[in-house]
Structure 1
């Protein structure tokens, strides 16, 4: 009876009352990773990410080139040719989609990881019988970090296979990027992917759901930031200056500095690569901290 009374008192006491813990950060992170692995939607997102990257990064450009570099003559400036699809260009081709359309999928992943807990009502169970709010939140962030890294590595692996096949078909020499260049590319892609996932987490915590955060995030990623870059920035100087500080243009500048094709949507050298990396990292930390502060202070039970 005393144990039952203690449990009821703990639940009624809110977030500041003592409660039994389900484990430390390591256990929470492992549990979150298991949840990510067991959700079919996450595997579907990974498959769609890889499929989109290969389709628009390799297959469509190769088909448009008609099987030879000469076929791209007279095409739009920066249009890919067979030479740009070979293994030597693996880094740029693998991360070129992350500033816009692949980044949108990472945002969806972030929203689903956190926002689904509101729809299912499982935040209540996690935070009343499990770890503290910040430990539970940190476990989700670490699991997302692993998921985004796996996604970026999968993009590089799929791109490596595809570019090697193209080189074989076209009887071109295979020259792979240096290991340091590959590691830099993976790190930059991971940084951009994690930033968009963190934005998804922030929207999910702010709006306490899934549908509206995904909708607003996609509108920003796929519409607003492209309209700002293509329509408003050429006409208004202050919008052009604002572009230098927004997350999307900085992500595009970072991947452009590493060899992404300028014809790819969202890829443009607005600022230098070093400054872009710092800006993307700043947004990543800022999104994560703001979402954690909201989760810590608000009563969501």
Structure 2
């Protein structure tokens, strides 16, 4: 199992698609969390995401003390979608390239190989969240120095709480993508299904739920709803101008335990499928 994990990490480390996917998230996070907001602050004009905010509030949101709220803010929708893509290509290309068939015919059990792949994906996602935190801190520090703002860091407990929620959300979306890649046995269909579900279908269902109570009850257990609510309870939902994907639909306790349930259940289903189905 340890050898399978190391081999999978080596494959992911040398795969350009992985670095492009991770780089796209870090670039998107930098643009929407800091770059566009700083340009808005400097120009004195407002954009679609800062309408109604004063310049003082806008600056405060970019300082290091705001890291606990800025770190997970874009992860329920945008970061989660990219992690779903990452999980889908990690699992799906194992079938598309024939590497699953090649590896499993040489001796390692399906269980150890699949667990090694899942462990490597989980390690990679943890690295992405850590890189996001480091990038956010570097940019917030740059803003603070440029605008003579406070460079004080938030409390350790507050920061660990935020980091834990961010890690939980990103890992869960990655495992959802891994399951889709295993189901579809290819990256293209699984990536498409994941993006349509995360960005379109759940939003449509929540819209229909405002008219049908049974649909609304169903949406309360959907992954986008519970993870959006989990981060929304931490960050705060400020009406229609809030970050897309942030919700206050369910309470923090229900959102936390439902997300943990998804994080446990999704890889178990993927592991069961790898064990039960043919690899070709």
TM-score between both structures, scaled by the size of structure 1 = 0.85
Change (3 A) 1:152 1:261: farther
Q: Secondary structure at the match of 2:76?
A: coil
The alignment of Structure 1 onto Structure 2 pairs a total of residues equal to 275
Q: Which runs of structure 2 are paired with 1:80-119 in the superposition (5 Å)?
A: 81-119=58-96
Residue 246 of structure 2 is matched in structure 1 by 267
Residue 5 of structure 1 is matched in structure 2 by none
**Cα separation, 2, equivalents of 1:189 and 1:294:** 28
Give the Å deviation of 1:133: 0.6
Please tell me whether Structure 1 or Structure 2 has the larger radius of gyration of its CA atoms: 1
Q: Secondary structure at the match of 1:129?
A: coil
Give the Å deviation of 1:242: 2.2
Give the Å deviation of 1:283: 0.8
Q: Secondary structure at the match of 2:71?
A: helix
Q: Does 1:284 align with 2:260?
A: no
Aligned residues: CA RMSD: 2.3
Query: 2:121 aligned to 144, 156, 167, which one?
Result: 144
Give the Å deviation of 1:62: 2.6
**Cα separation, 2, equivalents of 1:70 and 1:100:** 23
Q: Secondary structure at the match of 1:95?
A: coil
Change (3 A) 1:228 1:170: farther
Query: 2:9 aligned to 5, 11, 33, which one?
Result: 33
**Cα separation, 1, equivalents of 2:276 and 2:248:** 39
Where do 5+ consecutive residues of structure 1 fail to align? 1-24
Give the Å deviation of 1:216: 0.6
Residue 192 of structure 1 is matched in structure 2 by 169
Residue 165 of structure 1 is matched in structure 2 by 142
Q: 1:204-240, CA deviations, whole angstroms, 9 ceiling, x for partnerless residues?
A: 11111110000010001111122333x3233333333
What stretches of structure 1 move > 3 A for 4+ residues in a row?
A: 65-72, 76-80
Where do 5+ consecutive residues of structure 2 fail to align? none
Q: Secondary structure at the match of 1:35?
A: helix
Q: Secondary structure at the match of 1:258?
A: helix
Give the Å deviation of 1:122: 1.2
Query: 2:229 aligned to 253, 257, 260, which one?
Result: 253
Q: Identify the range of structure 1 (216-225 vs 166-175) with the bigger mean alpha-carbon deviation.
A: 166-175
Change (3 A) 1:290 1:122: same
Change (3 A) 1:175 1:239: farther
Q: Secondary structure at the match of 1:99?
A: helix
Q: Identify the range of structure 1 (255-264 vs 242-251) with the bigger mean alpha-carbon deviation.
A: 255-264
**Cα separation, 1, equivalents of 2:33 and 2:186:** 33
Q: Which runs of structure 2 are paired with 1:9-20 in the superposition (5 Å)?
A: none
Residue 201 of structure 1 is matched in structure 2 by 178
Query: 2:216 aligned to 240, 247, 253, which one?
Result: 240
Change (3 A) 1:260 1:88: farther
Q: Is the 1:65–1:71 Cα contact (8 Å) retained in structure 2?
A: no
Q: Does 1:75 align with 2:54?
A: no
Residue 182 of structure 1 is matched in structure 2 by 159
**Cα separation, 2, equivalents of 1:234 and 1:65:** 36
Q: Is the 1:95–1:260 Cα contact (8 Å) retained in structure 2?
A: no
Q: Identify the range of structure 1 (83-92 vs 255-264) with the bigger mean alpha-carbon deviation.
A: 255-264
